[in-house]
């Protein structure tokens, strides 16, 4: 592939669009023109491949060294935490005056993290990639219970901190929805953080992945 190999800029700050952190949908189309033997991958497939390479790269750089076969759910969680430094979603700390406000009126110093929806989609792709690359479903670290629990904690924490309910966009019932909204204290707004929950948006910029690693599985 023709990944740009600027390994020294992990921030990916050159990407103007905060929601699509990695993806470059037009790239594969151009590729298929110049490289006829390579069948064009779907956006999901190429994203999955990129994520997988990123994870392998992470294992490679891990200290102490870590192999895929020794990788546990705890390591996956560690990986997700590591990715937060590349995040673009403001998550307010509990002391911030904007804690729980979906649309703060002013900037604050709270950290940027990976949006829950991005992590959730990432885990789904990596889980699939693991098995496609020969891993056994029983030992799939991306399917570990600890990872699910961690994701749920991130989801709940971000929902509170950002005041953004993480629910699948529900069809708005225009007529007489009496009971629905009663239980959730916060009214679901149209903002909803929807963009960040897109299943195809990447988590890290592609220039992270310098050299695709061929696994020895
Ligand atoms: Zn804040």
pLDDT tens by residue, 107-138 = 999 999 999 999 999 999 999 999 999 999 99
Confidence of residue 204 (pLDDT cuts 50, 70, 90): low
Q: Quote the DSSP letter at residue 103.
A: S
Q: Is residue 65 part of a domain?
A: yes
CA 215 – CA 145 distance, rounded (Å) = 25
Q: What is the mean pLDDT of residues 35-56?
A: 88
Contact 118, 21 (CB under 8 A): yes
Structure tokens at 118: 């991005």
The pLDDT, as a whole number, for residue 168 is: 62
Q: Is residue 214 part of a domain?
A: no
Percent of the chain with pLDDT over 90: 54
**Residue 4 clears pLDDT 80, i.e. is over it:** no
The answer to whether the Cα torsion of 89, 90, 93, 97 is positive or negative is negative
Confidence of residue 34 (pLDDT cuts 50, 70, 90): low
Q: Is residue 99 part of a domain?
A: yes
Taking each helix axis as running N to C, give the angle between helix 73-83 and helix 145-162, from 0 to 180 degrees, rounded to the nearest 10.
Answer: 30
**Residue 112 φ then ψ, to 5°:** -95, 140
* pTM exceeds cut of 0.85: no
Percent of the chain with pLDDT over 70: 59
Q: Is residue 74 part of a domain?
A: yes
Q: Is residue 56 part of a domain?
A: yes
- CA 185 to centroid of ligand 1, rounded, Å: 21
Alpha-helical regions (H) of the chain: 25-34, 43-61, 73-83, 116-132, 145-162
- CA 105 to centroid of ligand 1, rounded, Å: 11
Contact 198, 19 (CB under 8 A): yes
Q: Is residue 146 part of a domain?
A: yes
If one counts the domains in the chain, the total is 1
Structure tokens at 103: 């649309």
Contact 98, 92 (CB under 8 A): yes
The answer to whether the Cα torsion of 73, 75, 77, 79 is positive or negative is negative
- CA 76 to centroid of ligand 1, rounded, Å: 27
CA 155 – CA 148 distance, rounded (Å) = 10
Q: Which residue has the tokens 């993480």?
A: 166
CA 12 – CA 25 distance, rounded (Å) = 17
Whole-angstrom Cα Rg for the chain? 19
- CA 156 to centroid of ligand 1, rounded, Å: 17
Q: Is residue 53 part of a domain?
A: yes
Range of the domain at 121: 42-167+194-202
Q: How far is CA 43 from CA 108, 141, 172, in A?
A: 34, 24, 29
- CA 107 to centroid of ligand 1, rounded, Å: 7
- CA 111 to centroid of ligand 1, rounded, Å: 8
- CA 94 to centroid of ligand 1, rounded, Å: 8
Q: Is residue 23 part of a domain?
A: no
Planar angle of CA 196, 199, 203, nearest 5 degrees: 65
């Amino acid at each position: 592939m023709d990944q740009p190999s600027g390994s020294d800029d992990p921030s990916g700050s050159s990407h103007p669009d905060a929601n699509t952190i990695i993806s470059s949908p037009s790239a594969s189309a151009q590729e298929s023109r110049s490289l006829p033997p390579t069948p064009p991958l779907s956006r999901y497939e190429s994203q999955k491949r990129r994520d997988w390479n990123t994870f392998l790269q992470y294992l490679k750089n891990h200290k102490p060294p870590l192999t895929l076969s020794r990788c546990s759910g705890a390591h996956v969680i560690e990986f997700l935490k590591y990715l937060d430094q590349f995040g673009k979603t403001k998550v307010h700390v509990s002391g911030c005056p904007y804690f729980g406000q979906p649309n703060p009126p002013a900037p604050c110093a709270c950290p940027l993290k990976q949006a829950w929806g991005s992590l959730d989609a990432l885990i789904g792709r990596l889980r699939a990639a693991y098995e496609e690359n020969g891993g056994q479903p029983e030992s799939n670290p991306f399917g570990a219970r600890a990872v699910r629990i961690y994701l749920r904690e991130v989801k709940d924490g971000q929902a509170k901190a950002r005041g953004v309910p993480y629910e699948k966009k529900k069809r708005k019932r225009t007529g007489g929805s009496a009971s629905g909204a009663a239980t959730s204290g916060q009214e679901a707004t149209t903002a909803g953080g929807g963009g960040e929950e897109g299943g195809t948006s990447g988590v890290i910029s592609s220039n992270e992945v310098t050299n695709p690693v061929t696994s020895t599985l």
